[in-house]
Amino acid sequence: MKVNDVILGKEALIKLNNTKFNDFKIVMSVYKLVKSLDEVLDMAQSQQQKIFDTYHAVNLQNGTFKFNNEEDKRSFLKEMDELKNTDIDSIQQIKIPLNSVQNAPDISARDLVSLAPFVEWIE
């Protein structure tokens, strides 16, 4: 799994964490997973801020960035790409029966795909 998986899966992880499971083992597994991934996300956001500060990147409202020069832009993009593609080996996938989330109204098919790096859906 990569740092970018955590960034992209954040909203789906919140939904999963808010799902009411009948099995306490699943509840604990989800809790531990979310806690671990929160730590990764905090570290990644801290590192992202350092990269922003280093290259004086100004985040514009439309999702683009403004830089002082092209060199800063290239270096910024390279470091952000390296950060997002950093492997996270310390976190193991958890197993959750697919039928335990079928009645969770907030979890969509897109969420299930976003959660795939963290959750092995079992029958």
Pairing of β 58-59 and β 65-66: antiparallel
Q: Which residues of 2-18 are buried (b: 16+ CB within 10 A; e: fewer)?
A: ebbbbeebeebbebbee
Q: Which residues of 29-65 are buried (b: 16+ CB within 10 A; e: fewer)?
A: bbeebbebbeebbeebeebbeebeeebebeeeeeeee
Question: 78-117: per-residue pLDDT in tens?
Answer: 999 999 999 998 899 999 998 888 777 788 889 999 999 9
% pLDDT > 90, the chain: 71
CB neighbours of 1 closer than 8 A, spacing ≥ 6? 87, 88, 91, 117, 118
- The arithmetic mean of pLDDT across residues 18-33, rounded, is 92
Q: Which residues are registered as beta bridge partners of 97?
A: 122
- pLDDT at 90 (0 to 100): 87
- The arithmetic mean of pLDDT across residues 21-49, rounded, is 93
Give yes or no for residue 37 having a pLDDT over 90: yes
pTM: 0.84
